[in-house]
Amino acid sequence: MVIKILPEQVPEYWDHIKFGALKVAGVAEKDYPSYCNGLLENLLNETHQAWLVVSEDRQIKAMGITRIMLDAGKIPYLLIDCAYGFTPATEADKDEVIETLLAFAKELKCSSVIAYTSSAIAVNAMRKMGMKEVHRLYQRII
């Protein structure tokens, strides 16, 4: 089951959200406090959305963070900011995440869904969503 976390639920799930985000964010350790404070603020004011994949026995299997962005023409798109699996996802889990995020993007009149990753597993999931590689992103932490 995929659940969109409401702002008032963020404190209850903050430890899972923070752990997953820090695992994949590519943020220098010295910047963790600033990153976490900004993320928490954005989740609470709903500029970012937190998602959980939950098993039938209510165990958290995965988390993700999205946000609605605007391109230069002010056309909205959904950015999958990060995704982290605490346990291996089933094909059914992946299918439900894809369906849920695409429905969410359509509901908000987004023109596309965009994500970036360094994970081969995530690349396969993005291809399954029908996404195509458009750019490569490089970073040097200073």
pLDDT in tens, the chain (142 residues): 999 999 999 999 999 999 999 998 888 899 999 999 999 999 999 999 999 999 999 999 999 999 999 999 999 999 999 889 999 888 899 889 989 999 999 999 999 888 877 666 777 777 877 778 777 766 666 6
Domains of the chain as residue ranges with CATH? 2-128 (3.40.630.30)
Amino acid at 17: I
Strand partners, 115: 80
For residue 15, give Cα distances in angstroms to 19, 39, 57, 98, 141: 6, 12, 19, 24, 25
